[in-house]
Structure 1
Amino acid sequence: MSVQDGVDDVGEFAALLRTLKERTDRSYGSLARRLNMNTSTLHRYCAGEAVPLDFAPVERFAALCGASAEERLELHRRWLLAVAARQRPRPASAAGPAETGTDTDTDTDTDTDTADGPVESPAEADSLPGLPWYRRGRVAVGLAAACAVLAALGSLAALPDGRRASAGDRPGTAAPAPSGTAKTEAPDGKSPSPAPSGTSPAPRRSSPSATPKRLKPSPSPSVRTTPPAGKTASAPPLTWSADSQAWKLGCGHDYVVAKPPAQVPPPPVPQDAGVWAASQNAVHGGETLVRLSVQGRTDTAVVLEALRVRVVGRSAPAPGNAYAMDQGCGGSITPRSFDVNLDKDRPIARAVAGSDAGTPIPAVRMPYRVSARDPEVLLVNARTQGCDCRWYLELDWSSQGRKGTVRIDDAGRPFRTSGIKGLPRYTYDTSERRWAPYG
């Protein structure tokens, strides 16, 4: 088999990994954390730059992405071909400039086995029998480094007075700082100033471009934090934002408006739904979809422990007419979400799996981890048939010995959802440019 055939085998394996990854709404970092591997390692697998020596991480990846039994079998077949291609000896003339490192990898948390290194010459390869061609370059480099260290030690031992060289023996090198102080070098040729004992220089701040975009924090009255013993409470380590004007599949939603059809303007585009609903004093009809974005303030992981529902008011469904924003949404994609039945005495947020053309999308299970670099978007679908319900969410979190609860509401007010059973329902006829009875 030619070298080109081996490259094709690796590329087909990586292409199938990317196909499975694209079915999820998770980033490489989110997937890698659940697979207990580095983000860069997973990215190299999906880019065809490395092939895992063990099929176990590939099997876990397929299960996390919801692969079917047939897809897992095909993934195993392509993995076998890719491993065989990467372990097959190749002539020196076939190795290009980019093929300078190990082509296989494992699912460990270190990247030392996949770092790029120089390829040795054929003569050096012959001097290291018993090792694969792709391992000999590192051994040769290690031997050269060891020889250099031994030569340096020999030169130090040959000093005239028999003592070891110190920082003060070398020309142009300042003597070490006295015990109890830490010497720091000042820029622009200024004299350095000693730092107090037991302290270290302040860490350098990252550039603004490297700082991820932060979400709007929740209002302070909606925050409850329990600090560790002996410490005072501080701001929660996470931020959130909630969009209560989301529509099912981006097109379907009902609003209850206490106006006749002639006085109601045409339905808006989804991005203008909030302005339209506010101008008409509209209430969510039948269900409310809340798109909740959560992320940490720093790179430290924050564990989302639980999502609860609090109903603070129930009354008879709001009077008026139900206005459908579309004549129905078709499609084969059902997003995963948290389903809330507000008609229950004690409603709970139940995780529901999604579907993509028949392929299941795993439900979001608590506990869950977020950080500044790894945010998460949760979709809550709250529905009712027989009440005008006012409600909000509570999100429990924990991080580094702290725990607390944030209240998720509609800009300081409870969310509101009213049933539409028995109400006149209308849809907008675009050809007649008016509202007409639904169906």
Structure 2
Amino acid sequence: MKVWIVGIIATALTTVAAGLIADGLTSVGTSVREIIDGDNRSVVIRDKHGPVLAVTVEQGDGDGCNAPGWVYPEPPSAPLMNTPPGTGPRKHGKTWDEDPLAFGAVAVGPVALYISAQARDNRAIILNNITFHVVERKPPLKGTRVSMAAGCGDSPTYHIGRVNFDTAPPYWVAVGDYMKEFRTDELKFPYKTTASDPATFYIEVDQGACMCKWQVELSWTDGSTSGKTLIDNDGKPFETTSAQGLTIFTWENGQRKVSDAWTS
């Protein structure tokens, strides 16, 4: 995971807990959301009760390396897919590589779901469970798979888990020695979180062989109140696709080439 993403999540939680964020808020159901912009957006979610959550979904392994890229709904011969990064047509002021979603691209999985949960005052909140829901399954997106270079960084301490959507319902996969080189422990509920001691989760989400839309529920107990917070992409499901069998392209010095860094 990139170091600055950790900083964004920590800053977002600290600011919201202090009640300083007042602009750019949106309501989704009973939740209030705040978008913290960056190359990877964090969505801060807060309900009347329960924890304040900072959520980021990004590609790559636990230190942000080895990003598997995006599938664009264009064949490799299409003009857009032969346009060097940072050039060509723009949507919302950004080029195809700067805002893949605007050009119809879908992230290649697995992706990493980061959740940091924090109470807003001195009371403790118990986090009871995380449940994944697949809301739509489609065949994998066909087109051009492009993997852009990703930076690497240090990892904080995470409670880690792995989930797979290959069969319904989604199921947890044994962690084993996965990410053993990082400061982690295996995800095992319940957890307690306070204002000074957030609980931070890293969950590898593998959509399997589909293009899946999905969302998450975090159940919690806040004093005498119990509830669930919906975690999604600011009111819309997250979306990831398998790219099995697609050639992987990368860009170096303005030239497109077939990648030799990935085999799947």
TM above 0.5, yes or no, is yes
- The answer as to whether partners of 1:252 and 1:325 remain within 8 angstroms in 2 is no
Match of 1:221 among 29, 37, 40: 29
C-alpha displacement at 1:371, in angstroms?
1.8
Mapped pair 1:301 → 2:143: no
C-alpha displacement at 1:303, in angstroms?
0.4
- The answer as to whether partners of 2:86 and 2:97 remain within 8 angstroms in 1 is no
Q: Looking at both structures, which has the greater relative contact order when contacts are Cα pairs under 8 Å and sequence separation is at least 6?
A: 2
Alignment of 1:122-201 (within 5 A): none
Q: Which residue of 2 aligns with 1:409?
A: 232
Deviations 1:284-319 (A, max 9, x none): 112222221211122210000000100000011112
Deviations 1:15-56 (A, max 9, x none): xxxxxxxxxx9xxxxxxxxxxxxxxxxxxxxxxxxxxxxxxx
C-alpha displacement at 1:351, in angstroms?
7.0
Q: Which has the larger radius of gyration?
A: 1
Q: Which residue of 1 aligns with 2:43?
A: none
- The answer as to whether partners of 1:334 and 1:354 remain within 8 angstroms in 2 is no
Match of 1:377 among 196, 200, 217: 200
C-alpha displacement at 1:334, in angstroms?
11
Runs (5+) with no aligned partner, structure 2? 1-5, 7-12, 32-46, 88-94
- The answer as to whether partners of 2:86 and 2:98 remain within 8 angstroms in 1 is no
Give the CA RMSD over aligned residues. Answer: 3.6
- The answer as to whether partners of 1:340 and 1:380 remain within 8 angstroms in 2 is yes
Match of 2:58 among 245, 250, 254: 245
Q: Which residue of 1 aligns with 2:85?
A: 265
Separation in 1, partners of 2:155, 2:119: 33
- The answer as to whether partners of 2:112 and 2:202 remain within 8 angstroms in 1 is yes
Match of 2:181 among 353, 356, 367: 356
Q: Which residue of 2 aligns with 1:438?
A: 259
Alignment of 1:114-125 (within 5 A): none
Match of 1:347 among 161, 164, 170: 170
TM-score normalised according to structure 1 size: 0.42
Say which SS state the counterpart of residue 213 (structure 1) adopts.
helix
- The answer as to whether partners of 1:351 and 1:363 remain within 8 angstroms in 2 is no
Mapped pair 1:287 → 2:131: no
C-alpha displacement at 1:362, in angstroms?
2.0
Say which SS state the counterpart of residue 49 (structure 2) adopts.
coil
C-alpha displacement at 1:393, in angstroms?
0.5
More strand by share: 2
Separation in 2, partners of 1:330, 1:275: 21
Separation in 2, partners of 1:374, 1:334: 12
Separation in 1, partners of 2:232, 2:179: 25
Letter in structure 2 aligned against 1:247: G
Separation in 1, partners of 2:244, 2:171: 22
Letter in structure 1 aligned against 2:184: I
Q: Which residue of 2 aligns with 1:389?
A: 212
Count of residues in correspondence between the two structures: 212
Runs (5+) with no aligned partner, structure 1? 1-24, 26-210, 224-233
- The answer as to whether partners of 1:333 and 1:355 remain within 8 angstroms in 2 is no
C-alpha displacement at 1:338, in angstroms?
2.0
| 1:294–1:331 Cα change, 3 Å | closer
C-alpha displacement at 1:344, in angstroms?
1.9
Separation in 2, partners of 1:293, 1:264: 36
TM-score normalised according to structure 2 size: 0.68
Say which SS state the counterpart of residue 195 (structure 2) adopts.
coil
C-alpha displacement at 1:391, in angstroms?
0.4
- The answer as to whether partners of 2:164 and 2:208 remain within 8 angstroms in 1 is no
Deviations 1:410-435 (A, max 9, x none): 111001010000122112224xx222
Deviations 1:382-411 (A, max 9, x none): 113411100001000002121000010011
% same residue: 24
Letter in structure 1 aligned against 2:194: S
Alignment of 1:36-47 (within 5 A): none
C-alpha displacement at 1:241, in angstroms?
2.2
Deviations 1:322-354 (A, max 9, x none): 111239989999976221111121113557363
- The answer as to whether partners of 2:160 and 2:185 remain within 8 angstroms in 1 is no
- The answer as to whether partners of 1:310 and 1:391 remain within 8 angstroms in 2 is yes
Q: Which residue of 2 aligns with 1:235?
A: 48
C-alpha displacement at 1:218, in angstroms?
8.8
- The answer as to whether partners of 2:148 and 2:251 remain within 8 angstroms in 1 is yes
Separation in 1, partners of 2:156, 2:256: 28
| 1:334–1:262 Cα change, 3 Å | farther
C-alpha displacement at 1:363, in angstroms?
1.5
Separation in 2, partners of 1:309, 1:279: 26
